[in-house]
């Protein structure tokens, strides 16, 4: 873990009206930080040339150190960000990674090119679900929301074949090229092993938020599976309960 010498006084990025933490400027050097994502709980992601910097207040509940160790395992097996550095910035954590090709598969451009975006999302999930899991650390599976079994939801549907689970399969976590092809995935703090429907249920739900309603069947057809309503209901309820 590196603790850089930086000015803690935040500066204002007038383009996005967001306070940019001093550590971002310290790690950017001569490059101008570009805000590329801001989540609902205050986490920020910046592009620094050929690198990305994630910054999250501890209060968000997002543990970047947890994601760091998972990316070290995953980035050799799947197109995922390769970690470069990690540190603590007062009451926040930050993680620096290498950039992957592509952009987030959301926004006006990809709403206008919805079939390509949905194909990329489904392709990325198929690739994640195909990663061998024989050496996946068992304790990580228990830490992810997909591994929990709250009694309030009743009996979990049986898992036909355990696979590697992204854990946050919402549309913005898919990367897509200018040509409309899947290039990788991001945000792996809840990487786990379990039922593929834990990802498929959340990915299809997120299509409503990002592309409008009515595209679930298109997603399942592209992935190559028939909707399983029992598992979809269960994992969406588990997501709501645990996230």
Per-residue pLDDT of the chain (243 residues; tens, 9 = 90+): 433 333 333 333 444 468 899 999 999 988 899 999 888 888 999 999 999 999 999 888 889 999 999 999 999 999 999 999 999 988 999 999 999 999 999 999 999 999 999 999 999 999 999 999 999 998 898 888 998 999 999 999 999 999 999 999 999 999 999 999 999 999 999 999 999 999 999 999 999 999 999 999 999 999 999 999 999 999 999 999 976
Give φ, ψ of 130 to 5 degrees.
-95, -5
* Other CB atoms within 10 A of residue 90 CB: 11
- The pLDDT value given to residue 74: 98
* Fold of the 11-98 domain: Phosphorylase Kinase; domain 1 (3.30.200)
| Domain 103-242 top-level CATH class | alpha beta
Give φ, ψ of 164 to 5 degrees.
-70, 135
Q: How far apart are CA 18 and CA 46, in angstroms?
A: 12
In the chain, which residue ranges form alpha helices assigned H by DSSP? Answer: 22-28, 64-74, 108-112, 114-129, 138-143, 197-211, 216-223, 229-242
- The pLDDT value given to residue 9: 33
- The pLDDT value given to residue 158: 96
The domain ranges of the chain are 11-98, 103-242
- The pLDDT value given to residue 19: 85
- The pLDDT value given to residue 94: 97
Please return the burial class of 162, using the count of CB atoms within 10 Å of its CB with bins 0-12, 13-18 and 19+.
Answer: middle
- The pLDDT value given to residue 141: 84
- The pLDDT value given to residue 1: 40
Do the beta carbons of residue 64 and residue 54 sit within 8 Å?
Answer: yes
- The pLDDT value given to residue 37: 87
């Amino acid at each position: 873990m590196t603790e850089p010498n930086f000015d803690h006084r935040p500066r204002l990025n007038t383009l996005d009206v967001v306070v940019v933490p001093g550590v971002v400027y310290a790690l950017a050097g001569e490059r101008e930080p570009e805000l590329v994502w801001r989540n609902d709980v205050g986490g920020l992601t910046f592009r620094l040339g050929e690198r990305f910097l994630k910054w999250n207040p501890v209060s968000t509940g997002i543990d970047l150190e947890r994601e760091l160790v998972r990316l070290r395992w995953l980035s050799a097996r799947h197109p995922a960000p390769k970690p470069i550095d990690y540190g603590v910035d007062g009451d926040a954590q930050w993680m620096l990674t290498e950039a992957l090709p592509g952009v987030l598969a959301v926004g006006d451009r990809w709403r206008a090119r919805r079939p390509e975006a949905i194909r990329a999302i489904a392709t990325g999930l198929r690739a994640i679900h195909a990663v061998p899991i024989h050496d996946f650390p068992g304790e990580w599976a228990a830490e992810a929301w997909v591994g929990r079994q709250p009694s309030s939801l009743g009996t979990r549907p049986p898992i036909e074949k355990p696979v590697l689970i992204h854990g946050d399969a919402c549309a913005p976590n898919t990367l897509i090229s200018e040509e409309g092809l899947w290039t990788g995935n991001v945000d792996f703090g809840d990487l786990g092993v379990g039922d593929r429907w834990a990802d498929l249920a959340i990915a299809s739900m997120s299509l409503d938020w990002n592309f409008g309603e009515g595209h679930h069947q298109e997603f399942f057809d592209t992935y190559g599976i028939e909707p399983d309503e029992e598992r979809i209901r269960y994992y969406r309820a588990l997501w709501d309960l645990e996230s």
